[in-house]
């Protein structure tokens, strides 16, 4: 108790109270009795139960909406502490709710603690200004701009030159598998969903092998096309052709597909060597594909698949070099925004995306996958694709829900358990049906973070300083209006 200098001094009461009737004297203060029970049992006796709070591990992303404590998030730190089983994050929410802002806050914070951020396909571009501010690398993919070679081994090829013996043989097979997987995916894409047959895949595999033996540099798709046009004996043997005419008949469709990759709508993007390799020393890398985003889902899907493959080759190479003590171990934060645009490009494209993202924990990579609605996954072409798409979402240990209507939460409830109050809270953030001029999204910057079967953590993100400009995804629209 502080006494003001102008107040007259008075007697200070003893710690146990005054020794006369009615003065609150206590001769003994007993410790409180603790009881433990489930919330279902104890709710009637003491309804004011609260969660245990959020762990103070990671990047500050806002304050708890119920009791105001700071909420921190970092998939690596949470995994190390045993709070989650993998480093995958799946962010789901309406446009304008702030999904990208949350991802950018994590990019900013985690790059500050040593992780390298990889923005694998920036379609708008939302992340390019932030990456430039962080001193990172921006690769602009498009016709007349930077190119990505789908058959580029990337840093895996560089790692291969530093290895020998069984380890080199294993890595060589990994490079081959990645090249063939992406080449088959691109062929599927330009065929409007027409799958590559088993016989055609064998031919492509033999062509990739032959080119790898013949030339020291990475092959490109025109090299594969030229090889099939030539039809050397090893390629004819793979096609099981009995003569020249039979060989032409067997490879005609495949040759036409490869010509589309070189001369069709995808010309000028994937038909030459990679012009700007990813810099492993950069704190963040953004592959800006905004120039191809207006060309339709086919080109966007091709660009995103190629970008993901190349980005994960970088991650694989870093892991291989670290395993053999040729480089320090690194952590990566891979951001896969507008996920749905790649997955729905053609039937079967979920398979390569699923394969790329399955081993994130073992590679030292945390993934943030962002999309608007589970409808984006349900709109995939086949039951198998839809099941794999749901599996990608379910596999993520951290689910972030940002402003979803009740009908969407019915679908979300199939992959993450939601309580009634949690459903009410998230649906209250959804944009109203009525149009209100100059009104902001009611759920902007509000998220419910779910991990396992635990109660969710509702958090409110408030931007500070330069974040208002760096995280703004509507700046171009407002600039055009002015």
pLDDT, tens digit, 9 for 90 and up, residues 229-264: 999 999 999 999 999 999 999 999 999 999 988 887
CB 64: neighbour CB atoms within 10 A?
A: 17
pLDDT at 206: 94
Q: Look at the block and give the residue holding tokens 């969660």.
A: 51
Q: Is 228 in contact with 235 (CB distance < 8 Å)? A: yes
Give residue 294's pLDDT: 63
Q: What integer is the mean pLDDT of 1-22?
A: 63
- Global pTM reads 0.78
Residue 7 has pLDDT above 60, yes or no: no
> Which pLDDT score is estimated for 383?
78
Give the C-alpha distances (Å, rounded to integers) separating 37 from 44, 45, 49, 324, 389.
11, 11, 11, 51, 39
Three-class SS state of 88: strand
Kindly tell me if the per-residue pLDDT of 431 is higher than 80: no
pLDDT at 482: 44
Calculate mean pLDDT across residues 406-429. 89
pLDDT tops 90 at residue 136: yes
Q: Are 346 and 196 in contact (CB under 8 A)?
A: no
- The percentage of residues in the chain with a pLDDT greater than 70, rounded to a whole number, is 82
Task: Report helix, strand or coil for 62.
Answer: strand
Task: Read off the pLDDT band of 193 (50, 70, 90).
Answer: low
**Given a cut of 50, is residue 163 above it in pLDDT?**
yes
Q: Looking at residue 1, what is its pLDDT? A: 44
At residue 182 the predicted structure's pLDDT band, cuts being 50, 70 and 90, is confident
Domain boundaries, given as residue ranges, for the chain? 149-273
pLDDT at 481 over 50: no
If one counts every other C-beta atom within 10 angstroms of the C-beta of residue 235, the result is 20
Out of 19-23, 186-190, 273-277, pick the least confident. 19-23
Q: Please state, in angstroms and rounded to a whole number, the distance separating the CA atoms of residues 125 and 111.
A: 19
**Cα–Cα dist 292/142, whole Å:** 6
Sheet (strand 365-371) strand order: 70-73, 59-64, 457-460, 446-451, 398-402, 88-93, 365-371, 332-336, 116-122, 284-288, 137-140
Q: What crossing angle do the helices spanning 350-357 and 165-190 adopt, rounded to 10°?
A: 150
Residue 61 pLDDT = 94
pLDDT in tens, 300-327: 777 887 888 788 777 887 887 788 787 7
pLDDT score for 29 = 66
198-220 pLDDT, tens digit each = 999 999 999 999 999 988 888 99
Share of the chain above pLDDT 90, in %: 29
Per-residue model confidence (pLDDT) at position 117: 94
Closest CA to 415 of 453, 383, 382, 385: 453
Structure tokens at 242: 């009995």
pLDDT band per the 50, 70, 90 thresholds, residue 438: low
Average pLDDT, whole number, for the chain? 82
* pLDDT at residue 480 greater than cutoff 90: no
For residues 115, 118, 124, 128, the Cα torsion angle rounded to the nearest 10 degrees is 60
**pLDDT value at position 201?**
93
């Amino acid at each position: 108790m502080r006494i003001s200098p102008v107040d007259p001094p008075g007697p200070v009461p003893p710690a146990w109270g005054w020794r006369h009737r009615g003065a609150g004297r206590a001769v003994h203060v007993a410790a409180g009795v603790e009881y433990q029970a489930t919330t279902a049992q104890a709710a009637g006796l003491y309804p004011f139960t609260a969660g245990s709070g959020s762990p103070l591990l990671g990047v500050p992303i806002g304050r708890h909406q119920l009791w105001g404590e700071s909420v921190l998030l970092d998939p690596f730190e949470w995994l190390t502490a045993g709070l989650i089983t993998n480093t995958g994050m799946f962010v789901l929410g309406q446009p304008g709710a702030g999904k990208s802002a949350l991802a950018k806050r994590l990019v900013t914070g985690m790059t500050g603690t040593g992780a390298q951020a990889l923005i694998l396909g920036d379609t708008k571009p939302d992340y390019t200004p932030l990456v430039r501010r962080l001193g990172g690398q921006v690769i602009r993919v498009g016709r007349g701009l930077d190119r990505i070679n789908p058959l580029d081994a990337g840093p895996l090829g560089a790692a291969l030159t530093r290895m020998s013996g069984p380890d080199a043989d294993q890595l060589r097979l990994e490079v081959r598998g990645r090249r063939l997987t992406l080449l088959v995916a691109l062929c599927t894409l330009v065929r409007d969903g027409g799958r590559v047959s088993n016989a055609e895949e064998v031919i492509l595999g033999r062509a990739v092998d032959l080119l790898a033996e013949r030339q020291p540099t990475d092959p490109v798709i025109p090299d594969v096309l030229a090889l099939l046009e030539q039809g050397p004996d090893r390629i004819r043997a793979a096609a099981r052709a009995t003569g020249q005419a039979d060989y032409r008949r067997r490879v005609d469709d495949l040759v036409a597909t490869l010509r589309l990759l070189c001369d069709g709508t995808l010309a000028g993007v994937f038909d030459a060597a990679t012009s700007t390799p990813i810099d492993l020393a950069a704190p963040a890398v953004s592959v800006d594909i905004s120039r191809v985003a207006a060309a339709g889902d086919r080109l966007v899907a091709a660009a995103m698949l190629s970008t993901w493959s190349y980005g994960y080759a970088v991650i694989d190479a870093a892991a291989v070099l670290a395993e053999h003590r040729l480089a320090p171990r690194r952590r990566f934060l891979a951001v896969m925004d507008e996920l749905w645009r790649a997955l729905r490009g053609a039937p079967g494209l979920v398979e390569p995306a699923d394969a790329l993202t399955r081993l994130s924990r073992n590679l030292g990579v945390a993934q943030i996958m962002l999309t608007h609605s589970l409808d984006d996954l349900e709109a995939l072409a086949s039951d198998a694709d839809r099941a794999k798409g749901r599996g990608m979402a379910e596999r993520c240990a951290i689910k972030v829900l940002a402003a979803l209507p009740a009908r969407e939460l019915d679908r979300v409830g199939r992959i993450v358990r939601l309580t009634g109050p949690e459903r009410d809270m998230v649906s209250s953030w959804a944009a109203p049906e009525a149009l209100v001029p100059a009104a902001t999204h009611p759920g902007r910057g509000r998220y419910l973070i779910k991990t396992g079967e635990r109660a969710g953590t509702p958090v409110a993100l408030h931007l500070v300083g330069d974040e208002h400009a760096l995280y703004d995804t509507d700046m171009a629209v407002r600039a055009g209006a002015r």
